């Protein structure tokens, strides 16, 4: 256990954590070659397809990992019963919108617009770097603490802003319609805004991390500070983007 702190101090600490994550995201994702080329319309189609084929596969597993986290962290939610509803709504949003099995439908819709088959999304092995990001989250869930998991999850808010940039680039430079680029518009909305009564996913994660700090439940393992978990999750996202660029260049 850590020392419980007041709501104001906990909120300030969460905001500082999120600011560090946002700064690292700017450095390792937004300003990196993949996103710079994408936003300029100079990213090769091969690299774009390589990325989304692997990203689509990643999203299927990361959503099931989020569902597993509710079971793993149920002791926290039993204490904070007011967050059980938002947690259930968040999971339902991922797994039943627009219909079961959830957001995988919008993944497939955008993949088809990019010339990627369903088998490539569902059955092809991921590039090692995408597997690395997924396994980092999986290891934190099963071996780590609830605070480590939610500190790493600070990237979900940044993913919302990133999705907006991706959507704009696809509809501006790559010929996709708004309907075809629906994966990214869906995640901009889901991660950043309240939608159909569901709390924005980024806001939900902030609240959980603040409650953990207030309760004195923000303990971490040696070598796994809250900042380390958040920044490593950012770094691995950047690594995935570069890996897609590199893999496309090798083909």
Domain 7-38+45-250 class in CATH = mainly alpha
Q: Supply the pLDDT for residue 42.
A: 98
Q: Supply the pLDDT for residue 234.
A: 98
Tell me the longest C-alpha to C-alpha distance in the chain. 54
Q: Supply the pLDDT for residue 193.
A: 60
pLDDT tens sequence for the chain (251 residues): 799 999 999 999 999 999 999 999 999 999 999 999 999 999 999 999 999 999 999 999 999 999 999 999 999 999 999 999 999 998 988 888 888 988 899 999 999 999 999 999 999 999 999 999 999 999 999 999 999 999 999 999 999 999 999 999 999 999 999 999 999 998 777 656 654 665 677 889 999 999 999 999 999 999 999 999 999 999 999 999 999 999 999 98
Q: Supply the pLDDT for residue 1.
A: 76
Cα 28–Cα 34–Cα 38 angle in degrees, nearest 5: 125
Q: Supply the pLDDT for residue 58.
A: 96
Rounded Cα distance between 2 and 13, Å, is 14
Q: Supply the pLDDT for residue 21.
A: 98
Q: Write b or e for each residue in 131-146: b if 16 or more Cβ atoms lie within 10 A of its Cβ, otherwise e.
A: bebbebbbebbeebbb
Q: Supply the pLDDT for residue 101.
A: 86
pTM value surpassing 0.75? yes
Rg (CA), the chain: 18
Contact call for residues 32 and 241 (beta carbons, < 8 A)? yes
């Amino acid at each position: 256990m850590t020392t419980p702190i007041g709501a104001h101090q906990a909120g300030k600490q969460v905001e500082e954590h999120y600011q560090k994550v946002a700064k690292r995201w700017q450095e390792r994702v937004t300003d990196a070659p993949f996103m710079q080329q994408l936003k300029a319309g100079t990213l090769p189609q091969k690299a774009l397809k390589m990325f989304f084929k692997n990203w689509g596969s990643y999203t299927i597993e990361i959503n099931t990992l989020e569902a597993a986290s509710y079971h793993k962290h149920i002791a926290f939610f039993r204490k904070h019963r007011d967050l059980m509803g938002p947690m259930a709504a968040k999971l339902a949003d991922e797994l039943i919108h627009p219909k079961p099995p959830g957001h995988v439908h919008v993944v497939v819709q955008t993949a088809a617009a990019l010339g990627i088959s369903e088998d490539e999304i569902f059955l092809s092995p991921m590039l090692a770097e995408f597997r690395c990001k997924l396994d980092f989250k999986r290891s934190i869930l099963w071996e780590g603490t609830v605070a480590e998991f939610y500190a790493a999850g600070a990237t979900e808010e940044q993913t919302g802003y990133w999705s907006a940039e991706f959507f704009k680039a696809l509809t501006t430079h790559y010929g996709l319609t708004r309907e075809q680029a629906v994966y990214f518009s869906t995640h901009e909305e889901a991660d950043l805004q309240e939608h159909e009564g569901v709390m924005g996913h980024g806001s939900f994660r902030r609240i959980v991390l603040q409650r953990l700090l207030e309760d004195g439940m923000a303990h971490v393992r040696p070598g796994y500070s809250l900042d380390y978990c958040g920044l490593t999750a950012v770094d691995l996202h950047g690594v995935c983007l570069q890996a897609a660029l590199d893999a496309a260049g090798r083909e």
